[in-house]
Amino acid sequence: MNILVTGSNGQLASCIKDLEDRYKELNFIYTDSTSLDICDLEQLKSFFQDNYCLDYCINCAAYTAVDKAETEIEKAFKVNAEGAKNLALVCQENQVVLLHVSTDFVFDGQKTTPYTEDDTPNPISVYGASKLQGEVEIQKLLKEHFIIRTSWLYSKHGNNFMKTMLRLAETRDEISVVSDQKGTPTYAGDLAGVLLEIISSKSSAFGLYHYSNEGEVSWYDFAKAIFEYSNLDIRLNAIPTKSYPTPAKRPEYSALEKRKLIRLLNLEVPNWKDSLLKILI
């Protein structure tokens, strides 16, 4: 099977590359924004026609600068909504199954129990709204799709919270991190494995799913674990969100309920601590 992976320079696509050898039956074609612009419908159509044997597309291309999106509204929607719509159109025309990655930021964070796929989205940031619009466009245009919402992605690739904490620790002996936002860190390698298992199993249970690692934690506790597992002696201060204002609002609580995907793939989902420990030791 031939798999197109967009956004090849990002951390999720990089984690897919790390797992390639486990899936000998899959042939991967990687593109970035310079080789394939998902915002350019005509370019997408030509690419899919030239690669007419595509079976799946994993869309890792996204605008993820959450705070910048508050002022770069058009850019965020162009990539996250229009780009997703374009992919849905060409996948529909070419009978290609689309796997699209979305976010916990489609929710407002007012719940105190994990969000299910049936909960009504209510984004409180431009980034969240643009990602939700992308979901809507795919659902309108394409039956054969999997939308996977995830949360707090990190890995040794790309830009993420874990790498930021480790970088700051190189020059500081004291760091402050918000402690009143709770969710679940998700190792991008675990998510990559889930996406490839969906493809490998040739599942036809199309639709919307949630996936994150198990457990709930604050950003402060996530940072604390990063430093502990890395044997770094850092003075860590817990602060409220109001003491660290950002252009974009974040959900106070965004843990995801993932029983639907667990049932589909018969998954054992690692606890966030276990996955973090695995890549830091």
The confidence score (pLDDT) of residue 45 equals 96
- For 15-43, the pLDDT digits (tens) are 999 999 999 999 999 999 999 999 999 99
User: What's the pTM?
Assistant: 0.96
pLDDT at 69 over 80: yes
Q: Where are the domains of the chain?
A: 2-160+186-215+255-270
The number of beta carbons lying within 10 Å of the beta carbon of residue 237 is 12
The confidence score (pLDDT) of residue 266 equals 86
Q: Which CATH number fits domain 2-160+186-215+255-270: 3.40.50.620, 3.50.50.60, 3.40.1390.10, 3.40.50.720?
A: 3.40.50.720
Distance (Å) of CA 281 to CA 5, 85, 226, 227: 29, 41, 11, 11
- For 151-170, the pLDDT digits (tens) are 999 999 999 999 999 999 99
Do 214 and 269 contact (CB within 8 A), yes or no?
yes
For residue 83, give the nearest of 27, 26, 130 by alpha carbon. 130
Structure tokens at 173: 């002996």
The confidence score (pLDDT) of residue 199 equals 96
Is 211 annotated in the active site?
no
Q: What percent of the chain has pLDDT over 70?
A: 100
Spot the catalytic one: 56, 127, 154, 253.
Answer: 127
- For 224-257, the pLDDT digits (tens) are 999 999 999 999 999 999 999 999 999 999 999 9
* Cα–Cα–Cα angle for 139, 84, 74, rounded to 5 degrees: 120
C-alpha–C-alpha distance, residues 134 and 61, integer Å: 12
The confidence score (pLDDT) of residue 52 equals 72
- For 176-187, the pLDDT digits (tens) are 999 999 999 999
Q: What residues contact 188, with CB distance under 8 A and at least 6 apart?
A: 11, 12, 14, 15, 153, 154, 155, 157, 158, 160
- For 88-142, the pLDDT digits (tens) are 999 999 999 999 999 999 999 999 999 999 999 999 999 999 999 999 999 999 9
The confidence score (pLDDT) of residue 247 equals 97
